[in-house]
Structure formats: structure tokens, C-alpha cells
A = this chain, B = another copy of it.
Amino acid sequence: MTDLIKPRDLDFLLYELLDVQALCEHAQFADHDRETFDAVLETARTLARDQFATHAAKLDANEPTFDGERVHLIPEVKQALDAYIEGGFLGTAFAPEHGGLGLPYTVSQACAALFTAANVGTAGYPFLTAAAANLLRIVGSADQQARYMAPMIEGRWFGTMCLSEPQAGSSLGDIKTKAKLRDDGRYEITGTKMWISGGEHDLSENIVHMVLAKIDSPDTPPGTKGISLFAVPKFRVGDDGSLGQRNGVKLAGLNHKMGYRGTVNTVLNFGEDEPCIGELIGPPNQGLKGMFHMMNEARIGVGMGAAAIGYAGYTASLDYAKHRPQGRPLTDRDPTSKPVAIVEHADVRRLLLAQKAAVEGGLALCLYCATLVDQLEAGIGNTDEHRQLLDILTPIAKSWPSEFCLEANKHAIQVLGGYGYTRDYPVERYYRDNRLNPIHEGTHGIQGLDLLGRKVLLENGAAFKLLVREVFHTAKIVMLDDALAAEARALTDALGHVGRVTKLLASELAAGRAERALANATLYLDTLGHVVIAWLWLKQAAIARPAMNHATDADRDFYAGKIAACRYFFRYELPKVPMNVALLERLDETTLRAEPASL
């Protein structure tokens, strides 16, 4: 079986581009070295290939069912997850004192990419569990961590995130779920949550729902400022951690999606027939604080997932293109000559280069953000700067791969033609799966508002200025290499365009003209995203150029591919930056002014 994510490329990104092994020089990661990273990645790769990828198509075709009592999943899911837990993957990024392996978040995210590429449906359960455990790590008391987090890292209990409600998806301030204080200090939860992945199943002994609700009190402020966070277990938990009776959280129904079919997606009722007891996590009315911390990592995780699914489509279509004979070169007019592999056709190469540029670029961005998380949490280097870069890059890391690696999945189908459109090949599944990523964890549009309406302005634009400095610094150095000087210049030009329009939009915002300034925030997000991806491609090409001189044949091909994809991105994609900036600079109001009745 072809590797879904090229091992050579993952090595390149981790060790040549991001220098992840350098993290081991610092106290927090001193127990590790490149060898342990490689061993974990190799185990993940094997597990993903042998236990996850093997049932991905079957799980997609046989989505979870609900018989009114229980949720049924094909048995391969539990087998795969048992092996995953056995391998310690639930705790890769948790500290040893929490029962984890204490690996850098970056390495843990690289593993996540491997599992996602193999089978996003099965991978969803432990990913959600790790996210819930991480939330408890951030805002839970030591007691709560012992009670809820430890069994999750052990893999005995699974977790969920319960944010959305039928009437409140993007607007969390409008949630209606209520929490009423009981005499014992716990809360009774009532309400309905929607889109809850992993909300009900028999994969684990217990499920811990992390639930946003509003405390039923006159002191609770309206909107997002009145949201609190609760741990609501499926089975009640004694102080000693023992499992008690069933809690009043019930499955109301399953959502049936276009993709991501393997991860059961539920509507949950809290406290409908029986009392549902929850425990307040963190201070009252501060529920979104910890959630946002967790959500930032979740957003990088979404981008990583989008890049991974895009990558799986890229390698599948590349493999097909190299082995499918059809057609002849344009210069060959002899109909009796042997057909060539379709990878020889220029348009097929375009479809492959477009995918490569998107998926390797997207993966680079998400792994880079993961290194910022590591450096920030371990206090390495200038943590203020890491935080600022992470702030401004998070909406891009979430959105850019979600948009452009989905486009890559579209191209993968095109390479396979009619075959790609059938369920006999995985590329149509990737295309369906990846369509979720621009929607969940904050839609594409919301990321645009977050970037332009918040992140760009924070601390008087400090994060944006820092990003510009970083990009400019790379371009300045690469300019010295004649072979990449044109690309370096194009990047500084693009940076100039974006800098100019950012200043303009910031001044509009400062002047209180938010509607007009933010009308095209999504376009701004895509545009700054293109600059960031171009930057990461230039960095990759700049590493590849000298490395080619002393490389083996296979490595020379690999590096040549990096340079080709960089050139592709600069020639086919980067020109969108000045084009979009021209529109943004006009403060275009076409969308604002279009009356609903005229649409």
C-alpha cells in the first residue's frame, strides 16, 4: 500500500524545515530525541496503515446506527482504538505525571495527521477524548483531573465537546442549556446539544461530556459572558472515581452526514426524563475562556486534518497517475503507439502540482503552528512572540487547508476521472470527509472575522507586524540565491500589498466603519493565507536548493519536487494576492448592498 503521507516529506517538514529535534535541548522535552520521535511516528504509521486504513471504506459504508437503546459500530473501530490506546497515543502530548508520553505537541499532531489520513471516522473518538482531557488539564482542579482526565488519558473513558445547540451553532451566546445549583454543590443540567461527535457509543466504560451551559441565576450575564463549563458523565462518578448509575443524558437521535460518517454524530438531551448531574469546571461564567484555549489547538487540529485528508488524496491520485496508461503525447500522432501513463499529460501534472502545493503547504503551516504551541508551553525563546504568531496564524491554519486542501481533493477525483467518482477508490470519500472542515470549529467566515476583526488589531497590530517581519526576513535571505530571487521578490511584493490594505482596513475599523471594513473579511483571510503559505514554500525551496547538491538520487528527486511545487505556488496561486488586495482596497460594498429581496 502506498503511504498516505510521504514519510520522507514528514521527516523533511519536522526536521529540516521546523528543526523539531531542537526542542529536546530544553528541559520539558529532554527525555526525548529524534530517535524516540521517529519510533513514535513509525508506530503511528504502522498502526494507521494496518488497523485504521483497513476499515475506513467499510466504516464509511456502514455508519453507526441507533436501535433506540444502543449505538452500533462495526467491530473494527474498537479493535483499532484498543491498539491505539495500547500504543499510548491518547497521551502522546500529555505530561508523564498525567499519564502521558510527554512528547511535543508537534509530534503528536504529526501522528494525528497519519491517523486522519488513514481513517478520519475512527480517529475522531480519541481526538475528541484528548481535547476534552486537555480542557480539564487547563481549567480543571487537581481533583477533577484525577477523576475525569486520568481515565481519559488511559483510554478507559472517552470524551466529547458539547457546545452547539439546534438554534445556536456559530452564536454560542444564544445557548439555552441551563445549569441549576444543587444542595451538594453540583448542578442539574437541562437542554439539548446538537452536532455532538462521539456523544453515545459502547467503545469506552464512560463518556465525559464537556458541556457549555448557563447557570440558572439572576446573576448570570446575558450572551457569551454568562457561559459556564460543566463535566457531565454518562455514568455518574463517585468521589473515588468509581462508576455509579446512569446519568440523565440521553441520545435523542443521530445526524447523518455526507462524510465523517464513522464518527457517530448525535443530538443529546440533558435532564429530559431523569436528572442530569454535572460538575462545574473552572469559575462560573468563565466557560469560554478555557474552551477558547482548547479551541485554538482544536482549530490547528482541524487544519491538520484537512491537510491530512488532502494529502491522502494527493498520494492516491499520484499513484494512479503513474500507473494508469491512457492517451499519447501531443506530439505523437501514431494511434498504434503505446499509450503513456497519464502523469505524462501536462494537465494531469497541473492537477498533481496543485494538490502538492496545497497539501504539503497546509501541512507545513499546521506543523509550524504546533511548534509554536510547544515553544510557548515549554517557555522556549521569546514566548510573547510565539503567542502573537500563534494568535494571528490560528485562523489561517484552521481555514487555509480547509479551503484549499478540499480543492486538492477535488483535483484528486479529476485525476482518476470516472473511477475517482466511484466508491471503489478512496478519493471521493476524502472529498466528502474534507467538506466538513470549512464548517466546524468556527466557519470559514467566522475565521475571517476573527482574523481581521480581532487578531490583526490586537496589541496595536503587534502580531501582524511580527508576521510581516518574519516573512520579510526569509525573503531577504532567499533573495541572495539567484534561482529563487524572483520568488523572494514576489513574496515581498505580495507582503507590501497585504501590509498596505491591512493598514487601510485597520483605520476603517478604528473609525468605527466595521461593516464595510469586514464585508470581505473572508477574502482577506484567504489572501493573508496565501502569503503565509508562499512564505513556507519559499522556506522549503530554500532548504531544498543547497541540499540537492549532496543528495542521493531519490533525495534529489524529492528536493526537486519541493522546488517545483514552490514555483507552482508562486506562479499559479500567489498572483491572487494583488488581485484580492485590489478588491479589498476598494472597500467594495457589493455584498453589503445586495438586498435580500433581490437575491
Using a CB–CB distance below 8 Å, which chain A residues touch chain B? 164, 167-171, 173-174, 194-195, 222-225, 255-259, 318, 321-322, 325-331, 335-336, 339, 341, 343-353, 356, 406, 410, 413-414, 417-418, 420-424, 428, 431-432, 435-436, 438-440, 443-445, 448-449, 453, 514-515, 518-522, 557-558, 560-561, 564, 567-568, 571-572, 575-576, 579, 582-583, 586, 588, 590-599
Q: How many identical chains are in the complex?
A: 2
- With known contacts A515-B330, A560-B598, A423–B256 Cβ distance under 8 A: yes
Contacting A410 at CB < 8 Å: which of B169, B328, B344, B435?
B435
A514→B420 CA distance, assembly (Å): 28
Contact B597 A336 (CB under 8 A): no
- With known contacts A256-B424, A356-B599, A575-B583, A222–B336 Cβ distance under 8 A: yes
Contact B557 A418 (CB under 8 A): no
Most B CB contacts (10 A, CB to CB) among A224, A259, A445, A560 go to A445
CB distance from A112 to the nearest CB of B (A): 21
Contact A343 B590 (CB under 8 A): no
Contacting A353 at CB < 8 Å: which of B168, B418, B571, B594?
B594
Contact A335 B173 (CB under 8 A): yes
Contact B598 A347 (CB under 8 A): no
A131→B520 CA distance, assembly (Å): 45
What residue in chain B is nearest A420 (Cβ atoms)? B439
Besides the known contacts A346-B592, A418-B440, A572-B583, 4 further A-B residue pairs in the complex with CB atoms under 8 A apart = A171-B327, A352-B594, A410-B435, A571-B583
Cβ–Cβ < 8 Å partners of A595 in chain B: 557, 560-561, 564
- With known contacts A174-B339, A560-B598, A582-B575, A421–B258 Cβ distance under 8 A: yes
Cβ–Cβ < 8 Å partners of A325 in chain B: 167
Contact B349 A428 (CB under 8 A): no
CB distance from A526 to the nearest CB of B (A): 12
Contact A327 B170 (CB under 8 A): yes
Cβ–Cβ < 8 Å partners of A225 in chain B: 335
CB distance from A419 to the nearest CB of B (A): 8
Contact B590 A335 (CB under 8 A): no
CB distance from A195 to the nearest CB of B (A): 5
A435→B420 CA distance, assembly (Å): 10
Contact B164 A418 (CB under 8 A): yes
Contacting A169 at CB < 8 Å: which of B347, B418, B422, B596?
B418
Cβ–Cβ < 8 Å partners of A351 in chain B: 445
What residue in chain B is nearest A225 (Cβ atoms)? B335
A315→B107 CA distance, assembly (Å): 45
Cβ–Cβ < 8 Å partners of A598 in chain B: 557-558, 560-561, 564
